[in-house]
Structure 1
Amino acid sequence: MQNSSSENCTDPHITFKSHLYATTYTIVFIPGLLANSAALWVLCRFISKKNKAVIFMINLAAADLAHVLSLPLRIYYYINHMWPFGRGLCLLCFYLKYLNMYASICFLTCISIQRYYFLFHPFKAKDWKRRYDVVISAVIWTFVGLACLPFPLMRNFDLKNSNSCFADLGVNKIGSMTASVLTVTTAELLGFVGPLIIIVYCTWKTRKSLQEYQGPFQNTSEKRRALRMVAMCAVVFFVCFTPYHINFFFYMLVKENVITHCAIRRSTLYSQPFCLSLASLDCCLDPILYFFTTSEFQDHLSRHSSIIIRSRLMSKESASSTKE
Structure 2
Amino acid sequence: MFNCTLENGTERDMRNTAYALVFGSVMMLGLPLNAVSLLILLRCHSLKSPSAVFMVNLAISDLLLVISLPMRVYFYATGTWPLGNKACICFTMLFRNNIRSSFIFITFISVDRLLAVVYPLRSRHLRITSNALKAVVLVWLFVLLWNIPESVELSRFLDKNNESTCFEFRCNPPYILARPQAMFVLTMLAVNIVSTALVSWTLHVHLNDSARINNKMNVMLIFAMNLMMFTVFFLPASLVGIFESWRTARTPLLCLASMNCCLDPLLYYFSFDGFWKRKEDVDTSVARE
Q: Structure 2 length as normaliser, TM-score? A: 0.84
What letter corresponds to residue 275 of structure 1 in structure 2? Answer: L
Q: CA deviation at 1:172?
A: 7.9
Q: Which residue does the alignment assign to 1:260? A: none
The answer to whether the 8 A contact 2:219-2:270 is kept is: no
Distance 1:294 1:152 in 2: 38
Give secondary structure in 1 for the equivalent of 2:275: helix
Give secondary structure in 1 for the equivalent of 2:242: helix
Distance 1:97 1:297 in 2: 28
What letter corresponds to residue 96 of structure 1 in structure 2? Answer: L
Rg larger for = 1
Please, which of 156, 164, 188 is the counterpart of residue 182 of structure 2? 188
Moved more, 23-32 or 147-156: 147-156
Please, which of 11, 14, 17 is the counterpart of residue 14 of structure 1? 11
The answer to whether the 8 A contact 2:172-2:241 is kept is: no
Distance 2:250 2:151 in 1: 17
Distance 2:115 2:80 in 1: 49
Q: CA deviation at 1:52?
A: 5.5
1:49–1:85 distance in 2 versus 1, CA, 3 Å: closer
1:125–1:226 distance in 2 versus 1, CA, 3 Å: farther
Q: CA deviation at 1:125?
A: 4.9
Q: CA deviation at 1:123?
A: 1.6
Instruction: Give 1:1-324 correspondences, 5 Å limit.
Output: 14-15=11-12, 16-48=14-46, 50-51=48-49, 53-127=51-125, 128-155=127-154, 156-166=157-167, 168-169=168-169, 171=171, 174=174, 180=175, 182-190=176-184, 192-214=185-207, 216-218=209-211, 220-250=213-243, 254=244, 265=245, 268-300=246-278
The answer to whether the 8 A contact 2:181-2:238 is kept is: no
The answer to whether the 8 A contact 1:105-1:237 is kept is: yes
Q: CA deviation at 1:41?
A: 0.3
Q: CA deviation at 1:219?
A: 5.6
Sequence identity (%): 27
1:212–1:50 distance in 2 versus 1, CA, 3 Å: same
The answer to whether the 8 A contact 2:44-2:276 is kept is: no
Distance 1:170 1:286 in 2: 27
Moved more, 139-148 or 23-32: 139-148
Q: CA deviation at 1:199?
A: 0.9
Distance 2:241 2:161 in 1: 28
**Structure 2 stretches lacking a partner, 5+ long:** 1-6, 280-289
Give secondary structure in 2 for the equivalent of 1:157: helix
Give secondary structure in 2 for the equivalent of 1:158: helix
Q: Which residue does the alignment assign to 1:322? A: none
Q: Deviations over 1:93-123 (max 9, x none)?
A: 0000111110001000000011011111112
Distance 1:136 1:65 in 2: 20
Give secondary structure in 2 for the equivalent of 1:123: coil
1:62–1:49 distance in 2 versus 1, CA, 3 Å: closer
Q: CA deviation at 1:299?
A: 3.4
Moved more, 107-116 or 227-236: 227-236
Distance 1:130 1:160 in 2: 47
Q: CA deviation at 1:146?
A: 0.9
Q: CA deviation at 1:221?
A: 4.7
Q: Deviations over 1:37-80 (max 9, x none)?
A: 00110001111462261110000000000110121111111111
Q: CA deviation at 1:293?
A: 3.3
Distance 2:253 2:173 in 1: 22
Q: Structure 1 length as normaliser, TM-score? A: 0.75
Moved more, 12-21 or 148-157: 12-21
1:121–1:221 distance in 2 versus 1, CA, 3 Å: farther
1:164–1:293 distance in 2 versus 1, CA, 3 Å: same
Q: Deviations over 1:129-161 (max 9, x none)?
A: 211111111111111221233333332113551
Q: Deviations over 1:16-48 (max 9, x none)?
A: 332232111111011100000001100011114
